[in-house]
Chains A and B, each alone.
Chain A
Amino acid sequence: MHIPDGYVDITIAVLFGALSVAILGLAARRVGRRVPESRAPLLGVVAAGIFAAQMLNWPIPGGTSAHFVGGAFAAILLGPHLGALCVATVVTIQALVFGDGGLVVLGANVFNMAIVEVYVGYGFYRLLAPYGEYRAAFVAGWLGITAGALTAGLQLGLSSAFEYQLLTTLSIMGVGHLVLGLIEGAITAVVYRFLAEARPDLQPTAAAEVSPS
């Protein structure tokens, strides 16, 4: 889902970059007045862990494999604001160390993967958790990544640099990830099941315990 430079025009890149900065700034304020530096090690190390976790391949029928993205999972584990900051760090490292995605379009990629995916995923989790936590984790992973893909489709469709119509980009990104997202949902649910049994104190209601200030 990483959009490289050259796909979206400068207006879209600047607009979504500014939105990302504003929303992450608000997230930082919601966590504390601003993110206290004492939380940086926890966030930074967990971000590195999520990045490494993305390397693990999961078998899917047909002989191919998929990997975990972890936006919704980070939100469930850390809470939405810390989750967004954590995934934003992962996306930035991917761009500035490994060249995944682009430089000018970094804000747009952060918006899709660290903001939309995280907050939409978390929203579905909170909404559905009373009806079953594992099912809620599944839907969070599934629809979180689909929502992120839809905003990527929106950015591409609105861009003058990309000749496909908005409806085309939304359909391709939306339908494609609605199917692929089932795998992300399933991974999120099985990992959540393990963590809920191994460390029940890590559930969102007890988030304060894992987020020392």
Chain B
Amino acid sequence: MRSDVFDRTVAAIASRAQWFLLIEELPTRKGFLQAVAPSLKVVGVFALVVVTVLQEELRIVGPLVVLSVLLAVASRIPLRTFLGRLAGPPLVAAVVVAPQAVLMGGPQLSVVPLSVEGVDYVATFTVRVAACVGFLSLLLLTTRFSTLLSGFDRLRVPRIAVLLLAITYRYLLVFFAELERMVRARRSRTLTDPDLRRTWRDSGNFLGTFLLRSLERGERVGRAARARGGTGGTPHRPPTRLGRADLAFGLVVAVTVLGVTVA
């Protein structure tokens, strides 16, 4: 395996694993959204994203981004982490729709050959994507995945879907570690960089071996679960009564939806 490709694979695995640690640690902090019941948080965040998607004016989507940042601060999410999440997708969105600043008709800005309508569209589109990413990030960074699944259970999402997500999540780190181990082992046995053809053939065997191991592990886990008389599903905590944080979050969502509708 070529050294640059090896490095990229290890970096990709490390980045995903680092994110795993973050989403397991941040939800344990004592913050506003961490105290909200998962089912209510899912519904509330979904409502906020829907309301955002429906907006076509910058004066409305702008405050929605501010709201997501305020909620992040209240939930004790490090601003650097949150803004880091917030920056990527809107940047891509801006690049994707930037030509519209020229292509859209209407009156032009005084100095540069950009239409007023086009610039407004690009800004609105980019900020709308930022607000949506902000709300989704709030959900991911303040809710442990097992808690999120218990919320889905409460919302009557089919049990099999919840079970599948739980098992996949549980085995992700196992496979990340296994893949990294295999890549490092292969690297240690490779003395020179082989040519492209050889690299592809070796990578095919490598990935085939890895997928075969996944499949065989899946079969083993399935057999073991059946032998135990269960399916390996994660037991969820029973729902608790709604508290002050739930009411406050419900109020924030209701006021936002109402405010945006009136505006």
Residues of A in contact with B (beta carbons under 8 Å apart): 4-7, 9-10, 13, 28, 34-35, 37-53, 55-59, 61, 63, 65, 67-68, 73, 77, 85, 89-90, 92-93, 95-99, 102-104, 161-164, 186-187, 190-191, 193-195, 198-199, 202, 210, 212
Contacts and interface: CB of A to CB of B under 8 A. Distances in A.
Contact of B168 (A44, A187, A202): A44
Shortest beta-carbon contacts, A-B, top 5: A49-B214, A44-B167, A190-B204, A194-B208, A5-B132
A97 B2 contact: no
Contact of A202 (B129, B196, B209, B215): B215
A5 B53 CA distance: 7
5 contacts: A6-B52, A41-B225, A48-B171, A51-B172, A55-B179
Mostly, the A contact residues are: helix
Contacts of B132: 4-6, 102-104
Given A41-B167, A198-B212, A55 B218 contact: no
B179 A4 contact: no
Given A41-B221, A98-B16, A53 B171 contact: no
Interface in B195-225: 196, 199-201, 203-215, 217-219, 221-225
A10 B128 CA distance: 13
B50 A55 contact: no
Given A63-B4, A163-B104, A186-B200, A52 B218 contact: no
Contact of A190 (B104, B201, B222): B201
Contacts of B20: 97
A125 to B, nearest CB: 16
